[in-house]
Structure 1
Amino acid sequence: MSRQLLDDIVEHARAEAPKECCGLIATRDGEVVSVHRARNAANSALKYVMDPMEQYKLQEAIDDAGLDLGAIYHSHTRSDPVPSQTDINLARLGDSDQPAFPGTLYLIVGVKSDEDDLRLWSIVGNDVQQVGLLVTE
């Protein structure tokens, strides 16, 4: 991921604080090419909810551009950027252990301090694993 796109995500997170922010990250062949900000319909400091119609339109724009949904991002304003049980539940398809968005990663931006803390996660059912995040200039 380029430093410029990563900075855009961090700026979104800091601008929305103390509420959580959220959005989609589009990729091509595993490389991040664009960031799509979404509104947190929950308007909450404790969770994020993307409006389904907005999320659909963003996903459609990503698909129309020939890109893939590589990651979903959101911020944690008061805790470390580690998936909460709420985050794990949101990554599931309904009550199953199947992923809601197969192959999609989750980027969490921690903004509880002045130091940026970003961590990338694979969440499949209850299996949560941190994934390396490569930042390029």
Structure 2
Amino acid sequence: MKISREIYQGIAEHSISELPNEACGYIAGKGDTAEKQYRLTNADASCEHFSFIPEEQFATLKDARKHGLALIAVYHSHPSTPARMSDEDIRLANDTEMRYLIYSVKEKSLKCFRIDDNKNVTEEELIILEM
């Protein structure tokens, strides 16, 4: 997946601003290239999990489509653990077309994952574009 330095920084800033809770949102783009970040509310207000507010999800999808984009990734942060898919992340990841980005505040790193129908997780290369 290709992501601009600006979006990478936006995810990091959102993750830090939501401490001690997890931050969450969507990335919209075309193909495997990220073009827009959407910061959403963690309805759970938890440091261990997140869930979206359905009205925000719908508004995000509508806005992305209005701009000719598709939702290509879900992102969330891990405040104090590594950027890896937790058991809960794997259980809740049901869209095999979606990428799953996890930002570790502790490690200051962002990683990208894909999941298949059998819940096998694969880390995907994240290419940071300098724009």
Partner of 2:115: 123
Q: When the two structures are superposed, what TM-score results if normalisation uses the length of structure 2?
A: 0.92
Partner of 1:44: 46
Q: CA deviation at 1:29?
A: 3.1
Q: Does residue 108 of structure 2 align to residue 106 of structure 1?
A: no
Identity of aligned residues (%): 34
Q: Which runs of 5+ in 2 are unaligned?
A: none
How many residues end up aligned between the 2 structures?
Answer: 127
SS at match of 2:44: coil
Partner of 2:72: 70
Does the CA contact (< 8 Å) of 1:91 and 1:124 recur in 2?
Answer: no
Does the CA contact (< 8 Å) of 1:20 and 1:45 recur in 2?
Answer: yes
Q: CA deviation at 1:45?
A: 0.2
The 5-angstrom pairing of residues 59-98 of structure 1 reads 59-92=61-94
> In structure 2, what is the Cα distance between the partners aligned to 1:41 and 1:81?
21
Point out which structure has higher relative CO (alpha carbons under 8 A, 6+ apart).
2
- What residue identity is the alignment partner of 1:78? S
Question: Runs in 1 of length 4+ with deviation above 4 angstroms?
Answer: none
SS at match of 1:135: strand
Higher strand content, 1 or 2:
2
| Superposition RMSD in Å | 1.1
Q: Which runs of 5+ in 1 are unaligned?
A: 93-98
